[in-house]
Structure 1
Amino acid sequence: MLKDLIPGFDDEIAEMHALAPTGWIMGFNLTFRGPEHLFNAYPDAWRAIYEERNYFFGDPIAMWTMTNDGWVRWSEVRIPDLRGVMREARRFRLNHGVAISRKVNGKRSFLTLSHPDREFTDEEIGRCAAKFSLWTDLVLSRAALGPGELDVLRCFRDGLGQAETASALGIAESTVKQRALKACAKLGARTRTQAVAIAVSRNYL
């Protein structure tokens, strides 16, 4: 799913792998059931231990991302590590890292990256934070558009008018109008034409 939402996904993932050689993870739209979209590139052995011991609820980095916006180096997090999560992580060379967190429309998204040998530089963190901000906008905006709204935008993209769109989709013109208005609002577009342009540029269609 993320591959369809983030342009140049494979190249972006490769850059993250190079920047965080011992692993990284990102999640979007966190709920009590977990993230709506998740990409986990941490070592399989660490992931197995983390899940088996239910470390999430004692992980100071995870706790920081749940309660803060912005970014922080792991070494600067002052939440007590009562279960020794970070000590165990170092067995897998997860020695240094950065956590980035963002809350949009009441839902939390996060990105954490690790490095075995050194702290991340401000420039590296800034670049990652900028990418993550863009990805969050892309993923959450696309996730917010319903199938009906996407169908209407596709018809507009293909040059159909409101009446033609209603006929093609087998719905009332008033329904087409409502879906178009909702799509514009979710995309921050002032017109239908602008909404289509945004949707096309972000590969939503």
Structure 2
Amino acid sequence: MSTRADINASLHKLGKLSPKGYYLGLHIRFAAPLIQHQTYAQEWSDFYSANGYALRDPTIAWGFSTTGACRWSALPIPDPFNILQDAADHGLTYGLTVSNGPIASRTIASFARADREFKDDEIADITATIRRLHDVTEPPESLTRAQKEALRCIAEGDRHAAAAAKLGITESAFKARLISVRERLMARTTAEALQRAKDYRLL
């Protein structure tokens, strides 16, 4: 199974385990995740953003303070803004937060249900899936010289034919370089690969 297919299968699995949705921030660096995915209802997402809850969320504070898994009902972090109650009012009544990885590249994910607490075996399954996602999305240490050259041409606005001519290679060879860099950076598009290369400080 390819890395992209593996990621998609893991996200699908998490969705089945978290019927009221989830948020996943992979490799949070400089206060922003390198990759994020969320399936919460739009109404809750809009309410959360409008109230600036990301900076006050006790689940995120807990995720940065330790690693492991914790039901929201057992969080040892104060919630002075009643964010968890607001979540419950939006149907996210029972929740779970999982934190994994070093503080400089932390992965934090939260999951919600409306009907009951997460069971121990579900927590173990979710935790193992998050660890796997954290590992398979670990940013590369570097790109090859050819991959960097190809991305720089794109960054400078060159079209494929012009970029190939500039590098002294065929257009098909240039396209192959772009495919390889997209795969290395787990990006769907070249534009996404370019942004990730910048975010990862590889260019």
Say yes or no: TM over 0.5: yes
Within 5 A, what are the aligned runs for 1:20-35? 20-35=18-33
Count of equivalent residues: 148
The answer for the alignment partner of 1:19 in structure 2 is: 17
Structure 2: 5+ residue runs without aligned partners? 148-166, 169-203
Is 1:9 the counterpart of 2:7? The answer is yes
Pairing 1:1-205 to 2, within 5 Å after superposition: 5-104=3-102, 106-140=104-138, 143-148=139-144
TM-score by length of 2: 0.66
Residue-by-residue CA offset, 1:158-195 (whole Å, 9 max, x unaligned): xxxxxxxxxxx99xxxxxxxxxxxxxxxxxxxxxxxxx
Question: Is the 1:6–1:138 contact (alpha carbons within 8 Å) kept by the matching residues of 2?
Answer: no
Contact 1:59 1:85 in 2 (8 A): yes
- Residue identity over aligned pairs, in percent, reads 24
CA contact under 8 A between 1:6 and 1:139: conserved in structure 2? no
- Paired residue type of 1:144: P
Q: Once superposed, what is the RMSD of the aligned Cα atoms?
A: 2.2
1:6 Cα deviation (Å)?
A: 4.4
Matched residues in 2 for 1:107 and 1:9: separation? Answer: 18
SS in 1 for 2:121: helix
Determine the C-alpha separation between the residues in 2 that align with 1:91 and 1:123.
26
Instruction: Look up the equivalent residue of 2:86 and give its one-letter code.
Output: E
Q: Secondary structure of the equivalent of 1:47?
A: helix
Counterpart Cα distance in 1 of 2:113 and 2:45: 16
Q: CA deviation at 1:130?
A: 1.0
- Aligned equivalents of 2:114 and 2:77: distance in 1? 22
Change (3 A) 1:90 1:13: same
1:74-114 CA-to-partner distances (Å, cap 9, x unmatched) read 11002111111111111211011111101237311112111
Unmatched runs of 5 consecutive residues or more in structure 1: 152-168, 171-205
- 8 Å contact from structure 2 (residues 101, 134) kept in 1: no
